[in-house]
């Protein structure tokens, strides 16, 4: 049962244009969402996160949007740069019974972003 | 210092060998994690340590044995592994475990090959 899904295995974008990476989740208990970027032979690097009490969070060229009713989030990168080429993982975490967070990240399968010069 | 370091970077071992992976962080984080990542798959959680105590074991086979000697160090002892255990092993840390709002920082990983 895949609770976090990234349905696009890959995305190709021209430099300077917008990259939009999508992520869907099924577990309504998830209350915090993160995006990680991963280069080959390196560990994932934290990019940006959003709490379920917000619908948008922005950090420089990166913006994450959350649509709770649709259980959908997206990462926008504007403008895209060749150095953004990497695998992008969406991740979610949730509160355990009793109201405290579990601390466990559930990852999507990842989307390979290629930004062409 | 916002870095998680892992050694060795690469490891090749036979099925009868005993080896250890090491992870270190100096960010004052009190939660540390081991993940396993196979090619073209997302990271899978193996173990979580919170305040140097094992908090979560995701039903990992006993041939993997974690150890947290102090708040900065995390080891993963390997014994009698199988070829299917070949993967990238990632260590991560976060300020605390029981909080929705703390990001996990990952190390570069150890690429393990079991022959």
Question: What distances in angstroms separate CA B57 from CA A78, B61, B73, one per listed residue?
Answer: 40, 10, 18
**Nearest neighbour of B100 by CB, restricted to A41, A93, A109:** A93
Identify the closest residue of chain A to B102 by CA–CA distance. Answer: A103
Termini Cα distance of chain A: 38
DSSP state of A95: B
pLDDT tens digits for B45-71? 999 999 999 988 888 999 999 999 999
Confidence (pLDDT) at A29: 85
Question: Is the peptide bond between A47 and the residue preceding it cis, with omega within 30 degrees of 0?
Answer: no
Taking residues A83-109, what's their average pLDDT? 79
Distance CA B111, CA B36 (A): 10
Query: How does residue A101 score in pLDDT terms, banded at 50, 70 and 90?
Result: very low
Closest CA to A49 of B101, B108, B95: B101
Q: A7 versus A101: which is more confidently predicted?
A: A7
Interface contact flag, A107 B92, Cβ < 8 Å: no
Task: Judge whether residue B7 has pLDDT over 90.
Answer: yes
Taking residues A62-67, what's their average pLDDT? 98
Taking residues A2-17, what's their average pLDDT? 95
**A1 touching B (Cβ < 8 Å):** no
**A39 touching B (Cβ < 8 Å):** no
**Cβ contacts (< 8 Å) between B55 and chain A: which residues?**
103
**Those residues with Cβ within 8 angstroms of residue B27's Cβ, 6 or more apart along the chain or in another chain:** B1, B2, B3, B4, B93, B105
Q: Are the C-beta atoms of residues A43 and B110 closer than 8 Å to each other?
A: no
Q: Are the C-beta atoms of residues B62 and B47 closer than 8 Å to each other?
A: no
Q: B62 versus A99: which is more confidently predicted?
A: B62
**Cβ contacts (< 8 Å) between A105 and chain B: which residues?**
43, 45, 104
Confidence (pLDDT) at A96: 56
Task: Judge whether residue A99 has pLDDT over 50.
Answer: no
Q: What percent of chain B has pLDDT over 90?
A: 75
């Amino acid at each position: 049962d895949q609770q976090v899904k990234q349905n696009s295995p890959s995305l190709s974008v021209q430099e300077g244009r917008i990259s939009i990476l999508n992520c869907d989740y099924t577990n309504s208990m998830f209350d915090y969402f993160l995006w990680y970027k991963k280069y080959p032979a390196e560990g994932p690097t934290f990019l940006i996160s959003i709490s379920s009490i917000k619908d948008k969070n922005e950090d420089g060229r990166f913006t994450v949007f959350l649509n709770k009713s649709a259980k959908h989030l997206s990462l926008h990168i504007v403008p895209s740069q060749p150095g953004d080429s990497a695998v992008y993982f969406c991740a979610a975490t949730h509160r355990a019974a009793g109201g405290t967070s579990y601390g466990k990240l559930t990852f999507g399968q990842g989307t390979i972003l290629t930004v062409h010069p | 210092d916002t870095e998680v370091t892992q050694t060795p970077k690469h490891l090749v071992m036979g099925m009868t060998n005993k080896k250890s992976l090491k992870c270190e962080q100096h960010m004052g984080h009190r939660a540390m994690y081991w993940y396993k990542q196979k090619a073209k798959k997302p990271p899978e959680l193996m173990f979580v340590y919170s305040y140097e105590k094992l908090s979560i074991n995701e039903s990992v086979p006993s041939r993997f044995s974690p150890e947290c000697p102090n708040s900065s160090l995390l080891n993963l002892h390997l014994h009698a592994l199988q070829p299917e255990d070949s993967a990238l092993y990632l260590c991560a840390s976060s300020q605390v475990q029981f909080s929705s709002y703390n990001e996990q920082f990952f190390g570069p990983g150890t690429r393990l090959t079991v022959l």
